Amino acid sequence: MTAPLQNDRLLRALARQPVDRTPIWIMRQAGRYLPEYRATRERAGSFMDLCRSADLACEVTLQPLERYDLDAAILFSDILTIPDAMGLGLKFVAGEGPVFERPVRSAADIARLPKPDMGSDLGYVMNAVSTIRKALNGRVPLIGFTGSPWTLATYMVEGGGTKDFAKVKGLVYSDPKAAHDLLGRLADAVTDYLNAQIEAGAQSLMVFDTWGGVLAPHDYRDFSLQYMQRIVDGLQRERPDGSYVPVTLFTKGGGQWAHWIADTGADGIGLDWTVTLDAIRNRVGDRVALQGNLDPSVLYASDEVIEREVARILEEFGPHPGHVFNLGHGIHQHVNPDKVKVLVDAVHRLSARG
């Protein structure tokens, strides 16, 4: 028996229902900017060891909730868990980030990819979800997440981070059939992965399409959006107990395509700071909730500037239901944690209704 939800602002906002104040959570809210996170990460031994320990993943997931009046927790994990489970040899290299020992470069490589088993290969993620959900005890909703097929494919083909996306775009243009085969496999795996997170206790879902914005518009529709559509269609968002699990799609640099994203049937659209909320809302209406969209660098500014920018974004969205306040991308690791409290408190204070 799960505890009743004490703070449902996030779920209400994603359902475009009235809330007493705008909910806020922060991308990468559990992470390197927090000294307590760095201490836990050191105890874990490695980043993936931290992810694979349900107790430690739970510990770092809850750390920001102890500091700030946040309206959601988000599972502590990594977007590359699925490619890792496909046997590509994921490593995290200091100064480089994630690196795959065996990148995928050809149709033959793609054909050899195994389908991950959600129990044996990725069960540690589901253990973390259920452990965190139990520890939250109804305090706030738990968000589960994944990388989008295009974003996962980018890392798998490039072998790690990239600035020019030459290898993955080369695959798209030289062998589109192979690229679609890879993306289809990933879409199926991601759908299974998110449904397993729902079953384990996730109450809301995020799909991070970090690199969708590097594509031309027609390529975005063909190689990113259609696969996120497939995922949305395959999610079991209606729980047996009658509750509903909303899904938010976030394409960094993709605000100009918000009307296409709204057509997928997603509940929310994540937006970065390169667009204004009022302009996007004018395009999509009240079909979807909007999440965002403060530039993370604002957190390096004075308290007065942070409050001013919060007020600006709240005014941009206006008095309508359906706004989830967030950064336009993940919080920077060198941000002063005290500035995050200024942000969270300002959102709640300045958005309070009646």
Please give the distance of CA 223 from its chain centroid, rounded to a whole number: 19
91 band by pLDDT with thresholds 50, 70 and 90: confident
Report CA torsion sign: 296, 300, 306, 309: negative
Distances (CA, A) of 243 to 135, 198, 262: 20, 11, 22
State the CATH number of the domain containing residue 285: 3.20.20.210
Query: What is the pLDDT at residue 1?
Result: 52
User: Is residue 307 assigned to a domain?
Assistant: yes
Is 41 one of the catalytic residues? Answer: yes
Is residue 83 situated within a structural domain?
A: yes
Q: Which residues pair with 268 in a beta bridge?
A: 248, 289
| Catalytic residue (choose from 78, 219, 267, 272) | 78
Active-site option among 155, 193, 220, 227:
155
Tell me what pLDDT residue 92 has: 85
In a domain? residue 257: yes
268 within domain boundaries: yes
32 marked as part of a ligand binding site? yes
**8-state DSSP, 325:** B
Whether residue 287 is annotated as binding a ligand: the answer is: no
CA angle 91, 207, 32 (to 5 degrees): 50
pLDDT tens digits for range 30-87: 999 999 999 999 999 999 999 999 999 999 999 999 999 999 999 999 999 999 999 9
Is residue 2 assigned to a domain? Answer: no
Residue 78 is among the residues annotated as catalytic for this protein: yes
Q: Looking at residue 354, what is its pLDDT?
A: 66
pLDDT recorded at residue 313:
98
Per the domain annotation, does 1 fall within a domain? no
Q: Which pLDDT belongs to residue 241? A: 82
Domain that holds residue 51: 9-351
Place of tokens 């088993």: 117
Q: Does 287 participate in catalysis according to the annotation? A: no
> Distances in Å between the alpha carbon of 193 and those of 19, 35, 134, 196?
30, 31, 20, 5
How far apart, in whole angstroms, are the C-alpha atoms of residue 171 and residue 148?
Answer: 17
The tens digit of pLDDT for each residue in 303-339 reads: 999 999 999 999 999 999 999 999 999 999 999 999 9
3-state secondary structure of 253: coil
Residues 6+ apart with CB under 8 A from 170: none
Annotated catalytic, 32?
yes
Query: Dihedral (C-alpha) 159, 165, 170, 176: value to the nearest 10 degrees?
Result: 90
Q: Which of 41, 52, 230, 281 is catalytic?
A: 41
- Asked whether residue 95 carries a pLDDT value surpassing 80, the answer given is no
**Region 227-231 average pLDDT:** 98
* Average pLDDT value for the chain: 96
Quick check: is 3 in a domain?
no
Q: Provide the pLDDT confidence category of residue 188 given band limits of 50, 70 and 90.
A: very high
- State residue 347's pLDDT score: 98
What average pLDDT score do residues 120-134 get?
97
Q: Is 329 annotated as a binding residue?
A: yes
- Whether residue 30 is annotated as binding a ligand: the answer is yes
Report the domain count for the chain. 1
